[in-house]
Amino acid sequence: MSAVKKKILIVVMDGLGDRGCKELNGLTPLQATDTPNLDWFTKNGISGTCDTVDIGIRPGSDTSHLSILGYDPLEVYTGRGPFEAAGIGLIGKYGDVAFRCNFSTCDSGLNITDRRAGRIDKPDTTELIKVLSGMVIDGVEVIIKEGTEHRAGLILRGSGLSPEITDADSHGNGPVSLSKGRIPEAEFTAGVINKFVKESYERLKDHPVNKRRIAEGLHPANIILPRGAGSFPDIQPFPEKYGISAACVAGVGMIKGICEICGLDVIDLPKDCTGGLSSNFISKAKVALDALQKYDFILMNIKAPDVCGHDYDPVRKCEVVKRLDEMAGYFKDHFPEDLVIVFTADHSTPCSLGDHSGDPVPITVFTPGNVMDDAVKFSESGCAGGRIGRIRGKYIVPMCMDLANRAEKFGA
């Protein structure tokens, strides 16, 4: 086969899918908004609806993006710990055990008095975390990084580790609850975590930042409480799995982290692309098109529609849809001939719910020379009649690989 191998761009409009909104006379924001550019791709491309994880499953950003990258989260997902750690830039490797942690306040008898240390935030946490890095306990390396507010991520790296342990966090005030192994082989890991918790108190209790906080009448952050142990998944790197170079264009830490775990490069963004609702989508589209000069595959994420869904704000979501359509117009006007482009969402975030739902999302795929189907409007209903039908997210990449003339022949 001598056909030119095309490149692939998946544009994930986060939380774009919706349900009928009473403020929009029962329409979804996509149905209620005029979107000539997105519709051009739907009219000229192939369309359908997509259950990113599976029918009826309400995906998180992590599980949905794993699916869109061609992995089955029902097989590879090992819990929030590793992905939240990745979300703050703490990228582990297979075999590591990751935790979510709180900076908390305790008294000298190790009784917790505030699980969130008065909602402490950076720069205090950044200072405090320094005295905790580089620890080795019973031969196990402890890697820790501050997150937003009172949160932190923690990774244990070494041999003989198991995620089968209980939280060193009673999720309330009172005596520090020690971690225990759920299986005998996990007792070692529980022991390491318990030693870490005690050591964190020793190192933090007299820290100058905490002395200052006490003097100011604030809660000191004098102990770290880890919970939600999960092992880093055994994920075959995307470039190896598909034989193509790949990168992501995203501003959200969690999405960048997932992509990094999957072996994608993370492209640095100009400042105007990272502002969530106020982000400049066209500027981001330029970054994606530039990156396609170097990479075969780009995953692009735009967070704004999800934010409107969480805010119960359909009118704002319509404005975002309008701006997404202008971005689609930019792609149309600057379309590289050898590209397969996908417009879809990672999940629905209905404005009536303020949270993610399992409703399937619209998907349109366009590349010059594809079969044109009957779908003409980019929306939950408008895409439904197209030839893609109703698919699962994990089939998007294989479908694109075929359209990009990159799929291996199966059989003689």
Q: Which residues bind Zn ion (CB under 5 A)?
A: 15, 306
Altogether, the residues listed in the chain come to a count of: 412
For Zn ion, which is the closer residue by CB, 17 or 153? 17
- We find the least distance from the C-beta atom of residue 120 to Zn ion, in angstroms, to be 25
In terms of CB distance, is 65 or 115 closer to Zn ion?
65
Nearer to Zn ion, 63 or 210 (CB): 63
**Closer to Zn ion at the Cβ: 92 or 305?**
305
Written as six digits, the tokens of 12 are 């994930």
Q: Which is nearer to Zn ion, 95 or 276 (CB)?
A: 276
Measured in whole angstroms, the distance separating CA 23 from the mean position of its chain's CA atoms is 30
**207/316 with CB nearer Zn ion:** 316
Smallest gap from residue 84 Cβ to Zn ion (A): 14
CB of 101 to Zn ion, least distance (A): 22
Minimum distance from CB of 309 to Zn ion (Å)? 7
Alpha carbon 105 to its chain's center: 30
Tell me, what DSSP letter sits at residue 296? Answer: S
Instruction: Quote the CA–CA distance of 376 and 383 in Å, as a whole number.
Output: 7
Q: What is the 3-state secondary structure (H, E, C) of 351-402?
A: CCCCCCECCCEEEEEECCCCCCCCCCCCCCCCCCCCCCEEEEHHHHHHHHHH
Identify whether the C-beta of residue 80 lies closer than 8 Å to the C-beta of residue 228. Answer: yes
Residue 371 beta carbon to Zn ion: minimum distance, rounded to whole angstroms: 33
In the complex, what is the shortest distance from the CB of residue 339 to Zn ion, in angstroms, rounded to a whole number?
28
Give the C-alpha separation, 264 to 192, whole Å.
Answer: 32
Partners of 231 in beta bridges: 97
Residue nearest to Zn ion (CB): 306
DSSP result, 50-83: EESSSTT----HHHHHHHHTT--HHHH---HHHH
Pure H helices in 205-339: 208-215, 238-242, 253-261, 281-294, 304-310, 314-333
Chain mean position to CA 403: 26
Cα within 13 Å of Cα(140), Cβ side: 26
Nearer Cβ to Zn ion, position 62 or 306?
Answer: 306
Least distance (Å) between residue 384 CB and Zn ion: 23
* Cα angle 197-210-118, degrees, rounded to a multiple of 5: 80
Shortest distance, position 303 Cβ to Zn ion, whole Å: 8
- Cα–Cα distance between 22 and 237 in angstroms, integer? 44
Question: Considering beta carbons, is residue 162 or 344 the nearer one to Zn ion?
Answer: 344
Please, which residue, 15 or 29, has the CB nearer to Zn ion?
A: 15
* Residue 310 CB, nearest approach to Zn ion (Å): 6
